[in-house]
Amino acid sequence: MKKKFCRGILSLLFLAMLFLQVPAQLKALKIGAAVPDEVWSTPLQIVNSPQKTMTLGAEKEKLILLDFWNTWCSACLQGFPKMEALQKQYGDRVKIIPVTSQDRPALEKFFASKNGQRFASLHSVVGDQLLKKLFPHVGVPFVVWIRDGKLLNTTDGDQVTENTVAEILRGSQSSLQTVVQRDDDGPLMISPDLTLEKGFVLNHYTFFGKGRMRGLASGTRFHREHGKTYGRQFTNLSLLEIYRAVAQEIFNQQGEKLNVKRIINLVNQPEAIDFTTDAAMESRLYTVDYLVPKTESDSLYPRMLRMINENTNYTATIQKKAMRCLVLKRTSSKDKIATKGGVFIDAFLKSPSVLQNATLDFMLSPINATKDLTPLPVIDETGYKGKVDLHFSAVKDLQMLQKELAAYDLALEETARELTVLVIQDKKL
């Protein structure tokens, strides 16, 4: 009896190991590749359904869209009504399946929340580990298109429309733009396998392009080693955002601080480089990746600025310029601002306006970050290095601020100074 029991346990373990090995053997599919047979028959856990599981095999004859999502993804949630409408419109010809790697308890908690209750009827695959191996991605929403048992395409959620679905169903030329997401720190468009080349060192690299890259999120990342930054990557950003970030680093190297009041945009069409991103502006987005030799990391940003100038119709330079400004000064030798200690509070632009156990920079930075109080740049000539306590009733305009500062023997005086500025202008052809 004991031997029979042991043999039964071993058999179950053997079958379990075989089952677990199937997903491990799966590799990322390339477009045009057939979805493996075992994937069609593997039970997938689902929520908000009388059935606890489903299989893709039951939908194999349809156009299948796997809509990868997560509860924290606002774009995913905003896209669900569109997906639901398309599902109703095309009926049995299409199957749109939401898929998330989040587990069932996380989903049930979400659907019980006020926000999640709007989507409580959503049938979704949960706890996915299998499909993500076949269709790896970094961000969501990420949509996988499957037709006739093969991977047809991978896109972002914006491309799922009545027109694109209709194109696929009638066999027309597809207008879908393939999205392949990456999750590595290497230079853009260089194979990660480059690191396998022994003895090879990538000393310099430039990638520069204009227009939205759908496979990349908007943002920036650094190439670093041993605390040294030898490369910088910007993806899907306006040119002004890139210029500003690069110039900020150069200002820092010079012991200066860049702010909006020290950026002079002389471009004839300033909206070409300075805008809030929306669909109409996608053609004006830029993606840049730039590396210098690791031993020359200090030269990264000046060289990067020159490279960007060479590849655009604009020229950005950092220069000294005489300009009107407000200078913060002390009006007496009495120290009325020294901190009494306590917790750090940074609430300068709130009402009441409070700085506690903070440096004066916490007052100047928000003033320079907006032109609401004054369009003039504000610089500190108090020479005060310690931390301060400042308690104002409110800071609604410059006149009120001047009055509040006077109680601390401080004043803002308008004068002219030679300031470091970033000047951007059209390139002279």
Helices (H), 181-276: 239-253
The DSSP element (H or E) to which 65 belongs, if any, is strand 63-68
Closest CA to 42 of 28, 56, 29: 56
Instruction: Map out the domains of the chain as residue ranges.
Output: 18-169, 202-313, 332-408
Q: Which of 58-72, 125-139, 172-186, 391-405 is least confident? A: 172-186
| Tokens 């079958």 -> residue | 15
Between CA 309 and CA 362 the distance in angstroms is 33
State pLDDT tens for residues 171-218.
Answer: 999 999 999 887 677 899 898 888 889 899 999 999 999 999 988 888
11 confidence band (pLDDT: 50, 70, 90)? very low
Q: How many CB atoms lie within 10 A of CB 160?
A: 20
The pLDDT tens digits of the residues spanning 35-94 come to 999 999 999 999 999 999 999 999 999 999 999 999 999 999 999 999 999 999 999 999
Distance of alpha carbon 216 from alpha carbon 80, whole angstroms: 22
CA torsion, points 284, 174, 37, 182, in degrees to nearest 10? -10
Distance (Å, rounded) from C-alpha 213 to C-alpha 209?
Answer: 9
> Does CATH number 3.40.30.10 belong to domain 18-169?
yes
